[in-house]
Amino acid sequence: MTNLCKSLVLVISLFLWIGVYQATATTTDITVFAAASTTNALTEIAKIYESGGSGKVALSFASSSTLAKQIENGAPADVFISADAEWMDYLEGKKLLETGSRSEFLGNRIVLIVPASSAVQPVTVSPQLDLAAMLGKDGLLSVGDPSHVPVGKYAKAALERLRLWPQVKNKIAPAKDVRAGLALVERAESPLGIVYASDAVISNNVRVVGKFPTDSHPNIDYPVAAVKTSKSTAALNFIRFLSTPQAKAIWAKYGFEVK
């Protein structure tokens, strides 16, 4: 091979190597585990993030408790978005989060919903509310399982604070996550449900008939963090993108309180 040919091969190889290096340096695919209540907003945000050429985003939605347990058991997540601080605290206590990556970036509130066709009119959620009468003889209150699903824990705390829990404690239809609870009311299989305001926004098949006082339950905060085993640079880039003006507009559109 002539010296000229050798030089051309070296130059071509160098350009190919640089191209591969730049591609891997600027785009990295990540997996995001996120609370079910973020499904619609986060799906839209992830598409915008991908369109910027920063890599693909695989989304996995479920209750925060389920996702936290999956991460604890080695599931390959890069970013975790929880619907409450407790499950993020759980992973932090297990030293499974990237140090310094955690922040609380969203808020929400819980609301009382009925099927869109229901005759129930708006009510004031207070200790005087007759939830038992609203449910009827055989009706069940659809809500995320209060034993571990964040929306269910918030709902139980509020009902206890308002002294309404004794009316419904034996009339709960515990759902695996907030979206499953929403679905029962959408199909009119439950006459009442408690979901996040952001979930009520995305459905035309339910109506909000009451809002729980914000002081009746712990603050509803959504923390986000990079998982210890994550592709940390890409994970942190995505976390930062969640709080850009473009992303904030989408969160607000879906009923979240943006911090």
DSSP states along 145-196: -TTT-HHHHHHHHHHHHTT-HHHHTTSEEEESSHHHHHHHHHTTSSSEEEEE
Measured in residues, the chain has a length of: 259
Backbone φ, ψ for residue 185 (5° rounding): -75, -35
Nearest to 151 by CA among 104, 188, 198: 198
User: Nearest Cα to 81, choosing from 45, 54, 51?
Assistant: 45
Closest CA to 163 of 130, 116, 141: 130
Pair (14, 102) in one structural domain: yes
Q: How many domains does the chain have?
A: 2
Predicted local confidence at residue 232, as pLDDT: 84
Q: How far apart are CA 105 and CA 115, in angstroms?
A: 31
What was the pLDDT predicted at 230? 86
Residue 199 pLDDT: 96
CATH number at residue 58: 3.40.190.10
176 with 122, same domain: the answer is: yes
Same domain for 193 and 180, yes or no, is yes
Are 178 and 196 a contacting pair, CB within 8 Å?
A: yes
Please report the pLDDT score of residue 214 as a whole number: 94
Which domain covers residue 193, as residue numbers?
A: 110-216
The DSSP output letter for 135 is H
Residues 114 and 183 in one domain: yes
The pLDDT tens digits along the chain (259 residues) read 454 444 443 333 333 333 433 333 346 899 999 999 999 999 999 999 999 998 999 999 999 999 999 999 999 999 999 999 999 999 999 999 999 999 999 999 999 999 999 999 999 999 999 999 999 999 999 999 999 999 999 999 999 999 999 999 999 999 999 999 999 999 999 999 999 999 999 999 999 999 999 999 999 999 999 999 888 899 999 999 999 999 999 999 999 999 8
Query: Could you tell me if 138 and 95 lie in one domain?
Result: no
Do 194 and 181 touch, CB atoms closer than 8 A?
A: yes
pLDDT at 54: 87
Which amino acid does the sequence have at 110?
I
pLDDT at residue 27, rounded to an integer: 60
The answer to whether 168 and 131 have CB atoms below 8 angstroms apart is yes
d(CA 79, CA 234): 10
Tokens encoding 176: 């695996």
Do 92 and 57 belong to one domain?
Answer: yes
**Do 39 and 83 belong to one domain?**
yes
Look at residue 4 in the predicted model and tell me its pLDDT: 42
pTM of the predicted model over 0.75: yes
**Residues β-bridged to residue 110:** 196
